[in-house]
Structure 1
Amino acid sequence: MTINFRNLGLAISLVALATTTASAADVTVAYQTSVDPSKVAQADGAYEKATGSKINWRKFESGADVITAVASGDVQVGYVGSSPLAAAASKGLPVVTFLVAAQLGSAEALVVRNGANISKPADLVGKKVAVPFVSTTHYSLLAALKHWKIDPAKVQILNLRPTEIVSAWQRGDIDAAYVWDPALGKAKENGKILATSADVAKWGAPTFDAWIVRKDFADKNPDFVKQFAKVTLDSYAAYRADPKKWAANAANLEKVARVSGAKQEEIASLLEGNHFPLAREQATLLGTPTVKAVADTSNFLKEQGKVDSVQSSYAPYVSVSYVPAK
């Protein structure tokens, strides 16, 4: 199946110049089902308390959907992966990355279904592999196929959202899927992992998740963005101070499970599968490393024919100015 980002590109080009009418008193934030420590703060209402704002939390299944909502002005702050971020920046969407939310590892993986007769990468040829288009897993899948020297045209790559992947998997309609939790956990119940995003990173294609904000909103409400970043980073610090103690707290696990939809018993291992950068790390990451990663991802997507052109510089799409000093 031919993969392209044309629908996303059309949506961005049509509404990229839209202006947001929301103030810091009423903000819509797009989140996804990925497992991370800040889900506890989200469940506790810590973001609302710190910002003094009413936050409308909207759950999305993919970064592509988040980007479209941000482009329209319906969403002011959004959680996206590095691949949809790169695609959006390449199209000129007026956003800025203000936090690296997670450096992805084993929490995203390519799983093959038991009985699909896939024991090695070469067996993917001719098989149906599902992935949410314009996502970090989409990018990782393409990068893995390139590493394995497999022509993507010889694999039936299907565009399915995580919940659709679960349904298709249970029906036996697909042979493999590259996805994150909770869909990943469902797939692993009768499947095995062929590769993780930690593997793909070692092969030269690292991925990350990020918090982005519309530039017009950030310019008018910098304090909101700074407080949002602080709450997130405080959550990360609490987790990283003692991951085992944090995971032993049943209340933490219940809140993350409630917000993300992941299985409570799998949350500890899922958290270990990613790295959550602290404020001192953000100060370095939100500079050359992230700018280069977005540029490299954009160039790869252009090479694959998924975006038409790339920016001369991606520096305008990344800012460390909202990270609290530590």
Structure 2
Amino acid sequence: MTPFLFPRRLLAVLTLGGLALTTQAANFTVAYQTTVDPAKVAQADGAYEKASNSQIDWRKFDSGAEVITAVASGDVQIGYVGSSPLAAAATRQLPIQTFLIATQIGAAEALVARDGSGIAKPADLIGKKIAVPFVSTGHYSLLAALKHWQIDPAKVQILNLAPPAIIAAWQRGDIDATYVWDPALGVAKQNGKVLITSGELGKLGAPTFDAWIVRKDFASKHPEVVRAFAKVTLNAYADYRKDPQAWLADKANVAKLVKLSGAKAEDIPLLLQGNVFPLAADQAAALGAPTTQAITDTAGFLKAQGKVEAVLPDYAPYVSNQFITN
């Protein structure tokens, strides 16, 4: 529909669930990952389409690096990435903005040693094969863990595998350990031992987070759509955080998370409780100096590891809180 078909006053009062309808459909593509978060329920229910008055092509990706490639190509307008691929993308000066902190990662990502691998303690990782998606939050956390344990990464065989390949390699016994998220994490934990989680690493000074990013050209043309997307996500978070136990008691909620994440139903409570899902009041403050500094620190770590060539003097242009509404 075109804007002139409706008087401005009428457009101002047309709402859906408290969100203003866009005057023109902005059909777009969203890259999501298999993380376990309350917003998966809104995704399954079609809440994003209703709020933005748009058709959305939801595409599943296995890693943030793949999402960044799709966003950079223009095939994807909004994408879900971890802080490590985000820092790498910003350092490459891709036309993106972080408009929402999706989660502060806790137990949802972890380093797991396979039973029978001979790994009983961190020092036993030397000489072993550890699989992780490169330039992911898991990769960043793995390197941070090795640094904390004073283990030279060169003394460990770090393999670049996507989560589906990690599952296959784990089941074949081809790898000794993995730093990954669900559903691969759940598979690994069935016959493996958790050595450290991302939440524990965060307390040691290496926090990681997931974020929603948007192409700047799309955000400039459709700011109302980005605001609606953020609002739906934050409403889902608020619904969960209001009463987590009641939310989890609703089998429909759990079923939707299982379908979109691939995680097992019995693992959903721990995975949700292991992360922090920031509400609107937290987002407004976080999407400023804290996130900019976190990206800067992550980029510095990646440079030290030879994963990026340089660190930008300022990452503020890649973070914005203008799409957050209370």
Query: Which TM bucket (shorter chain)?
Result: over 0.9
The SS at the match of 1:322 is coil
Aligned residue number for residue 271 of structure 1: 272
Superimposed CA distance per residue, residues 217-259 of structure 1 (whole angstroms, 9 cap, x where no aligned partner): 0000000000000000000000000000000000000011111
The SS at the match of 1:240 is helix
The SS at the match of 1:75 is coil
Superimposed CA distance per residue, residues 197-233 of structure 1 (whole angstroms, 9 cap, x where no aligned partner): 0111111110000000000100000000000000000
Matches within 5 A, 1:136-285: 136-285=137-286
Superimposed CA distance per residue, residues 149-197 of structure 1 (whole angstroms, 9 cap, x where no aligned partner): 1110110000011111010000000000000011100000000100000
Aligned residue number for residue 105 of structure 2: 104
The SS at the match of 1:57 is strand
**Stretches of structure 2 lacking an aligned partner (at least 5 in a row):** 1-23
**Stretches of structure 1 lacking an aligned partner (at least 5 in a row):** 1-22
Return structure 1 stretches of 4+ with deviation > 2 angstroms: none
**Cα RMSD (Å):** 0.8
TM-score, with normalisation over the residues of structure 1? Answer: 0.92
Superimposed CA distance per residue, residues 47-84 of structure 1 (whole angstroms, 9 cap, x where no aligned partner): 00000000000000000000000000000000000000
Q: Is 1:30–1:59's contact at 8 Å kept on the other side of the alignment?
A: yes
**Amino acid across the alignment from 1:174:** I
Counterpart Cα distance in 1 of 2:240 and 2:161:
32
Q: Is 1:24–1:224's contact at 8 Å kept on the other side of the alignment?
A: no
Q: Cα–Cα, structure 1 residues 319 and 24, in superposed 2: closer, same or farther, change >3 Å? A: farther
Aligned residue number for residue 64 of structure 1: 65
Return the offset for 1:25. Answer: 2.5
TM-score, with normalisation over the residues of structure 2? Answer: 0.92
Counterpart Cα distance in 1 of 2:192 and 2:206:
24
**Percent pairwise identity:** 69
Q: Is 1:24–1:221's contact at 8 Å kept on the other side of the alignment?
A: no
Counterpart Cα distance in 1 of 2:179 and 2:311:
26
Counterpart Cα distance in 1 of 2:106 and 2:269:
14
**Amino acid across the alignment from 1:260:** S
**Amino acid across the alignment from 2:211:** A
Superimposed CA distance per residue, residues 279-314 of structure 1 (whole angstroms, 9 cap, x where no aligned partner): 000011101110000000001111111100111100
Q: Whose radius of gyration is greater, 1 or 2?
A: 2
Aligned residue number for residue 51 of structure 2: 50
Q: How many residues align?
A: 303
Aligned residue number for residue 113 of structure 1: 114
